[in-house]
Amino acid sequence: MSYDKIFKGKRGDEKFYLGNEAIVRGALESGIDVYTYYPGTPSSEVGETFMEIFKEVGMKWVERSINEKVAIEVAGAAYARGATVMVGMKNVGLNVASDPLFALATTRPKNKNSAMVILVADDPQQHSSAVEMDSRYFLKIFKIPALEPSNPQECLEFTKEAFKISRELKLPVILRTVTMISHARSNVIVGEIKPSGIRDDFNLSKEVNVALRLYFLELKEEHIYNRLNQALEISENSPLNKIENENIKNKFDLGIITSGVSYSYVGDTLDFLELEAPILKIGFINPLPERKIVVFLKQFKQIFVIEENDTYLETQILAIAHKNSLNVKIHGKDPFSYSKENKLLSIVGELNPTKIALALMKITDIKPKIDLNQISKKKYDTLARNPIMCPGCPHRTTGYALQKAIKKIKLISGKNIYFYQDIGCYTLLAFPPFSFANVKYCMGSSIALAQGVAQTSESFNIAIIGDGTFFHSGIPALLNGIYNKTPILVLILDNGWIGMTGQQPHPGSDTRYYKEGSSKKAINLEEFLNGTGANVNVIKHYENNDNEYFLKLSKLIYEKSLDVINNKNLHVIIIKDECIQKTIKRQAPVLRYIDNELCNNCGICYRKFLCPAIDISEELVYIDQNLCLGCGICEMICPNKAIHREEL
Amino acid sequence: MNFDSYTIVVTGLGGQGLIRFLQILGNALMIKGYKVMTSETHGLSQRGGKVSCFLRFGNKLPAPIPMIGSADIILSLEESSILDVLYYAKPDKSTNLIISTYEKQQIDTKYPSLEYLLSVLYENSENIYFIPVSEIAVKHTGNLKAMNSVILGYILKFLPLDSNDLEESLIQHFSEKNLELNLKGFKEGQKLQSILSENE
């Protein structure tokens, strides 16, 4: 399906593309050879699309790497050797990938076809991220060019421009998007697909590719004073930095500087306020075009800088105004004040036209026909809904079994028990009724977090981590714990896939059950862990689908916990219970029903176990057949044996 | 009706198929010559969690998020969910509020009463349409999954689209297995439109 949608179509055809799909098309129109990535919302569709079509479209290599650092390294060396490469990740992925990127940014491949674009998808409002972060500050640290599109059409065009700049300058170029760009869908006019220009007689000379002081300070000089300087010239002259409504004057002497998705909000907001103002739209976000900005600033008494998240543009524009002795009032989020009262726009959260309109009203005293303040004051008694795990989610079973075990352990040992969470659907176990979370940071952190408390107190500490996250970045922390003989319990919630971002495979996934699996080798987690000398137990649900599973799991957690507490051993339990979304694609679920003769409405299944498929109507408990996915745990935990399999 | 700039807000629960709904509608509007922009929410919108999306179109490219007080249609795939996005309704009460009567209760939480719901809806609009979408889907297609196609059929009368335009789009977006079901739902939705119009 993706092949037809993305690869077919000739110059001038109009498609209805997601921003992420437009990026794929833009890369194919740039002769891309290699794409490496780690899935993460809102960047995932780019990689998943490449993974689906790469053989058909004749690309050299596409991989869903084990983590973002590895993805950058695989692609980086391919770039050094003359490939046109792209790497994709979400905001926090860039943190993981940042170490190699410092060296990579300075290297200068000697091969003509070398080009590298790094897609970083930020997530203002952290719709689906562990933190809200603005990755643009990395641009200043790495000292590399970056472009930011403001709609799906620009996603395609800016991707092509990014490849062009990288190929010309031999610098990696970052393409920065945000959720509302990556996941916006719109009209996109496509261009021509370009064949690869990769050659096999490549040059990997150490003088430009090896990060060693001997060569590298000199190379860094060349990187900054030659290549980055050229990038600045491109930025100064690039149509990606453009002035709109240039000859318009308004009575407020106000001009607007913006970029990315904020630009599209500005357009709507000005229409709404019936205000006309010149706009400097920055598409080339690093290095900033100082001369162009100065020319723009000189025309106004007031400037409003509108950007998502941090004051990346605003801080630099303030500096540019000072450096050029310009007397212009610059409005924005004010990088030098942390007083919330006086902010026109907040540094926290996602922008939208309403916030921008309210800010512009403060600057201009315009009173629009529609009273935004009044509308935003209205409050309704809405039904609060927390995000919940799917019906049949194995993590709910694990959470419930853990809850049972914990009660007993507390009673027997009298210990305080603490939980360390990681990044995955199971993070939702942090909410009631489970509340299994005391400390949680980022991908792969849970196992080390548990060690920090275990080493400094007499408490009992449990790390909860998924299989995908364990492969991504949990392994070094576990080895650290084993080596230091730290008494912790590590629960690896092995659902077989990278569940949260769309059930993508990881190195441990069953190769029989995914498309490219036939060309992969699955890593056996149990064998791997046995090799580390850790105490490892494995418990499987689906393969031994017996009614005792739940009790066995709870008992196993209880026993191994006591061993951690009493004998100061580190224990790992691998809980193999597949992501239900993946299971139901292979086998039809065996739905359950409730025998209301036997049910006494104790509420265990819907209130304690919290299965969203079980509901109650006029004192009668029932299973919503449209929601039930047939995991069968309710049948195991029902004290009245009132839940049965669907009668065939 | 002004189709130079038109905004539809769609709200519901994760897993109700909002994204595909927007794709089908947006694609048809694009083919009709409009500049279309939809925003989708992916990732951690687990089944059951709240989801809101936007579809905007017109003669120039709209932003992915609209201004409050500016929606032409607010469509709620779950009854009380409309309360979450009611601030998008126009103060002149002209916004069409289309509400599925499907209620997803939550254990130990009070579901907003119909009296309350109606009172705030009438505060915000003179054009309120409740549709028993799931009943219609089940009755006429035998499958709840056709729910969104019923709504597509129903909202056709508000939009600058013909039945054929959306049918084409449905054909593009559904596999053969599910197509018939959805076309049937789509037809039922259109019939419903005429029944309600006659009663008006």
What would the pLDDT profile of A141-172 be if each residue is shown by its tens digit?
Answer: 999 999 999 999 999 999 999 999 999 999 99
Residue A337 DSSP one-character state: -
**Longest CA pairwise span in chain B (Å):** 48
Residue A610: what residue type?
L
Query: In this complex, do A381 and B48 lie within 8 Å of one another by their Cβ atoms?
Result: no
pLDDT in tens, A108-131: 999 999 999 999 999 999 988 999
Query: Are A168 and A315 part of one and the same domain?
Result: no
Same domain, A21 and A168: yes
| Whether residue A441 sits in one domain with residue A481 | yes
Q: pLDDT at position B195, please?
A: 58
Within 8 A of B90 by CB-CB distance, chain A residues are 370
Query: Can you give the pLDDT at residue A420?
Result: 98
Distance CA A289, CA A233 (A): 8
Supply the CATH number for residue A474's domain: 3.40.50.970
Nearest C-alpha in B relative to A615: B107
How far is the CA of A464 from the CAs of A448, A568, B58, in angstroms? 11, 19, 49
Cis peptide before A287 (omega within 30 of 0): yes
Same domain membership, residue A112 and residue A254? no
Report the residue of A15, A245, A268, A601 to disrupt the B interface, i.e. the one with the largest count of B CBs within 10 Å.
A268
* Inter-chain CB proximity A388 and B47 less than 8 Å: yes
- pTM check: above 0.90: yes
- The answer on A460 and A401 residing in a single domain is yes
Domain count for chain B = 1
* Residue after which a domain boundary falls, among A546, A566, A586: A586
Angle between helix B147-155 and B163-173 (nearest 10): 150
* Tokens representing residue A63 in the block: 């991989």
Q: In the block, which residue shows the tokens 């054909």? A: B171
Residue A585 one-letter amino acid: K
pLDDT at B47: 62
- Host domain of residue A209: 2-237
Number of domains in chain A: 4
Best residue in B40, B104, B108, B135 for a mutation probing chain A (most A CBs within 10 Å): B40
User: Are B136 and B150 a contacting pair, CB within 8 Å?
Assistant: yes
Q: How far apart are CA B140 and CA B189, in angstroms?
A: 10
Nearest CA in chain B to A273: B67
Decide if A428 is inside a domain: yes
CA atoms within 13 A on the CB side of A19: 34
* Statement to judge: residues A552 and A604 lie in one domain: no
Residue A582's identity, in one-letter code, is K
pLDDT in the model for residue B144: 84
- Whether residue A160 lies inside any domain: the answer is yes
Contacts of B1 (CB under 8 A, 6+ apart): B72, B158, B160
Among the partner-chain residues B27, B46, B87, the one whose CB lies closest to the CB of A375 is B87
pLDDT at A63 over 90: yes
CATH of the domain at A610: 3.30.70.20
CATH number where A270 lies: 3.40.50.920
Which of the residue ranges A309-313, A450-454, A546-550, B82-86 would you say has the lowest mean pLDDT?
A546-550
When CB atoms are compared, the residue of A261, A264, A380 closest to B120 is A380
What is the least distance, in Å, from the CA of B151 to any CA of chain A? Answer: 19
Same domain as A359, residue A400: no
pLDDT, position B198:
44
How far does the CA of residue B196 sit from the closest CA of chain A (Å)?
28
Q: Is the pLDDT of residue B77 over 60?
A: yes
Mean pLDDT of A525-551: 88
Where does a domain end: A586, A615, A635? A586
Q: Mean pLDDT for chain A?
A: 95
Q: What angle do CA B68, B72, B75 make, to 5 degrees?
A: 90
Q: State how far residue B22 is from chain A, nearest Cα, in angstroms.
A: 9
**What is the spatial distance between Cα B14 and Cα B12, in angstroms, rounded to a whole number?**
7
Look at A185 and B22 and tell me if their CB atoms are within 8 Å: yes
Strand order in the sheet with A284-286: A61-64, A34-37, A84-90, A115-122, A173-178, A146-147, A284-286
ipTM value for the complex: 0.95
Residue A140 CA to residue A39 CA, distance in Å, equals 25
* A270, A333: one domain: yes
Does residue A82 have a pLDDT over 60?
yes
| Chain B closest-CA separation from residue A14 CA (Å) | 9
Residues of A in contact with B111 (CB under 8 A): 383
The lowest-confidence range among A56-60, A247-251, B144-148, B153-157 is B144-148
> Is A532 within 8 Å of A479 (Cβ atoms)?
yes
* Helix/strand/coil for B153: helix
Domain housing B52:
5-199
Tell me if A370 and B43 make a contact (CB, 8 A cut-off).
no
Predicted confidence (pLDDT) at residue B200 exceeds the cutoff of 50: no
Confidence of residue B42 (pLDDT cuts 50, 70, 90): low
Inter-chain CB proximity A185 and B69 less than 8 Å: no
Flag whether A384 is in a domain: no
A200 and A257 share one domain: no
The tens digit of pLDDT for each residue in A372-394 reads 999 999 999 999 887 788 889 99
SS3 A614: strand
Final residue of a structural domain among A181, A212, A237: A237
Rounded to an integer, what distance in angstroms lies between the CA atom of residue A91 and that of residue B116? Answer: 42
The verdict on A181 and A274 lying in the same domain is: no
Clarify whether residues A417 and A292 are in a common domain: no
Interface test with B, best of A129, A264, A354, A385 (most B CBs within 10 A): A385
User: CA separation (Å) from B86 to A125, A180, B38, B125?
Assistant: 21, 21, 19, 10
Q: DSSP letters of B48-96?
A: TSEEEEEEEEESSPPPSSPPTT-BSEEEESSGGGGGGGGGGB-TTS--E
Rg (CA), chain B: 16
Tokens at A567, concatenated: 């004998």
* pLDDT, average across residues A179-190: 97
Which CATH number do you get for residue B87? 3.40.920.10
- DSSP state letter for A628: -
